[in-house]
Amino acid sequence: KAGVTQTPRYLIKTRGQQVTLSCSPISGHRSVSWYQQTPGQGLQFLFEYFSETQRNKGNFPGRFSGRQFSNSRSEMNVSTLELGDSALYLCASSSQLDNSPLHFGNGTRLTVT
Amino acid sequence: TQLLEQSPQFLSIQEGENLTVYCNSSSVFSSLQWYRQEPGEGPVLLVTVVTGGEVKKLKRLTFQFGDARKDSSLHITAAQPGDTGLYLCAGARRGAQKLVFGQGTRLTINP
């Protein structure tokens, strides 16, 4: 079974731009969660999607948004990028909406200059 | 304020030594998961503990869930350089639909 795939692996953007990150979950997994990882804050929950619906949302500004498609693939978008958005963005999939173990992708490293 | 506090945050020891990493909270969790993350990769699940007092072993790694289900520990025996990585604990709460992660313990095993 293929693992969770995130694209792109690396991204460099400038302040004010917007970015879209993509995540393909493990086949059959319907839940996709997004996390932001920084050295200072650790893993911070962004949002979770299940069957194309956002089920949970973390404490991030509205500039962070996401969506899930009918094939469970998910995208997250960050608009009006700020320097502080530089981070590793991790996507994780699981088979259920509950607290089943998460299967993480290798992340997208976003650098905002 | 972090719901799950991990200690120590950084640990650097020599190959062959033993170590223990802690994950503490004032909240009760229905289960607790431990992940290891290596550079350039996402976290990988090591174990899930569910019952208070439960002990699980994974080769040289021993995981324990506190009796009150508020804390957990990870003990590594005879550490090896391959154990190097960021160790994350994540707690699941009843009624909540997302895991809460600790800040992690960055472990370095020197040859």
The Cβ-side half-sphere exposure at A24, using a 13 Å CA radius, reads: 7
Q: Which DSSP symbol is given to B81?
A: G
CB contact under 8 A, A48 and B44: no
Q: How far apart are CA A97 and CA B18, in angstroms?
A: 37
Given this model, what pLDDT does residue B1 score? Answer: 57
Contact A4, A59 (CB under 8 A): no
Which structure tokens are listed for B102? 């600790």
Dump the DSSP string for B49-88.
E-STT-EEEETTEEEEE-TTSSEEEEEESS--GGG-EEEE
Half-sphere exposure of B87 (CA within 13 A, CB side): 30
Are the C-beta atoms of A33 and A91 separated by less than 8 Å?
Answer: yes
The residue among B33, B97, B103, B105 with the most chain A CBs within 10 A of its CB, best to mutate, is B97
User: Quick one: pLDDT at residue A1?
Assistant: 63
State the pLDDT at residue A4: 97
Q: Which residue of B has its CA nearest to A89?
A: B42
Chain A residues with CB-CB distance to B44 below 8 A: 104
Average pLDDT per consecutive 10 residues, chain A (113 residues; last block may be shorter): 91 98 95 93 91 92 97 97 97 82 95 97
3-state helix, strand, coil in chain A (%, to 5): 5, 55, 45
Distances from the Cα of A76 to the Cα of A42, A54, A88, B44, angstroms: 19, 12, 13, 22
Instruction: Verify whether the Cβ–Cβ distance B42 to A105 is below 8 Å.
Output: yes
Q: Of the candidates A41, A42, A98, which has its C-beta nearest B97's C-beta? A: A98
3-state class of B52 per DSSP? coil
**B-contacting residues in A 46-75 (Cβ below 8 Å):** 48, 55-56, 58
Q: What is the mean pLDDT of each run of 10 residues along chain B (111 residues)?
A: 87 97 94 94 95 96 96 98 96 79 95 93
